[in-house]
Amino acid sequence: MHEIDAARCGLKTNDVVSVSSRRGSVVLRVNISAKAHPGVVFIPMHFAEAAANLLTIDALDPQAKIPEFKACAVNVMFAREEELVDAEEPLVRGRK
């Protein structure tokens, strides 16, 4: 999250938030950075504790068979520390 947006929302690094889209929700820690553009929330897809794939569509490009661009609208709300998912606990995601 960008510094200006975070300050306006009252967020700071290490706060715990729930990030939700119409497809899912994840609870994670905030890392405020000037690298993000204002209005943008970046969540890595590479780590189980981030689980950004739970928020985005799992559609594949019909010809290349690669995932679509991972972008979606989200809502960010404060959450409690105990809502954080244990990184060792497996998460169900993707196609079933």
Tens place of pLDDT for every residue, the chain, 96 residues? Answer: 656 666 778 889 999 999 999 999 989 888 888 888 888 888 877 766 557 778 888 788 888 888 777 789 999 999 999 998 765 555 555 555
- 35: in domain: yes
- 91: in domain: no
Domain count, the chain: 1
Question: How far is it, in rounded angstroms, from Cα 53 to Cα 91?
Answer: 11
Question: Model pTM greater than 0.85?
Answer: no
- CATH number for the domain spanning 67: value is 2.40.40.20
Q: Which long-range contacts (CB under 8 A, 24 or more apart) does 30-34 make?
A: 30/1, 30/6, 31/1, 32/1, 32/2, 32/3, 32/6, 33/1, 33/2, 33/3, 34/2, 34/3
Name the residue range of residue 36's domain. Answer: 1-82
Paired tokens of 42: 């970046």
Question: What kind and span of H or E run contains 28?
Answer: strand 25-29
- 14: in domain: yes
Paired tokens of 11: 């967020």
- 94: in domain: no
